[in-house]
């Protein structure tokens, strides 16, 4: 099961940058899903963290309740980074004891870059 992870443009509490962390992630790298029952916006929220412990975003709201129930029942065997996405990232879940497997990707043109990542503007020093 692949999931789009959203909220990459929001800053983390520790000031780490979610978009930068997504750029550092490699396909197949371990991801961690953490329910946030005390989240003030959505008590069903599920945060997603990289293997380095940096939050990259959240499971989409419409999928969060399902993923939380999978987590509470032990159905999620593992989660891995799949790819970057304009909303943030895509992760892949392995369910019911099966490890996640990355899907085959179509060959890319070396001139295509539609990653959706645009670094913040850094003004020159005066």
Sign (positive/negative) of CA torsion 51, 52, 56, 62?
positive
User: So where are the chain's domains?
Assistant: 2-95
Residue 111: predicted pLDDT: 47
pLDDT per residue over 5-46, tens digit each? 999 999 999 999 999 999 999 999 999 999 999 999 999 999
What pLDDT shows up at residue 71? 95
Containing 19, the helix (H) or strand (E) segment is: helix 18-24
In the three-class reduction of DSSP (H, G, I as helix; E, B as strand; rest coil), residue 85 is classed as: strand
Rounded distance between C-alpha atoms, residue 95 and residue 123, angstroms: 46
Fold exhibited by the domain 2-95 = Alpha-Beta Plaits (3.30.70)
Q: Quick count: other Cβ atoms within 10 Å of Cβ 112?
A: 7
Q: Tell me if 94 sits within 8 A of 76, measured CB to CB.
A: yes
Single pTM value for the model: 0.80
Q: How confident is the model at residue 118 (pLDDT cuts 50, 70, 90)?
A: low
Phi-psi domain of 41 (left: phi exceeds 0; alpha: psi -120 through 50; beta: other):
alpha
∠ CA 16-103-18, nearest 5°, is 5
Q: Which of 53-57, 104-108, 109-113 has the lowest mean pLDDT?
A: 109-113
Distance CA 52, CA 65 (A): 25
């Amino acid at each position: 099961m692949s999931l789009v992870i959203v909220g990459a443009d929001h800053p983390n509490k520790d000031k780490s940058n979610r978009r930068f962390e997504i750029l550092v992630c490699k396909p197949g790298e371990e991801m961690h899903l953490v329910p946030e029952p005390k989240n003030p916006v959505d008590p069903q929220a599920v945060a997603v963290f990289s293997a380095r412990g940096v939050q990259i975003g959240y499971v989409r709201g419409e999928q969060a309740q399902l993923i939380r129930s999978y987590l509470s029942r032990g159905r999620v065997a593992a989660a891995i980074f799949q790819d970057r996405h304009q909303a943030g990232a895509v992760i892949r879940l392995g369910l019911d004891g099966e490890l996640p497997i990355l899907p085959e990707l179509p060959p890319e043109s070396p001139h295509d870059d539609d990653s959706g990542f645009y670094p913040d503007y850094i003004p020159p020093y005066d």
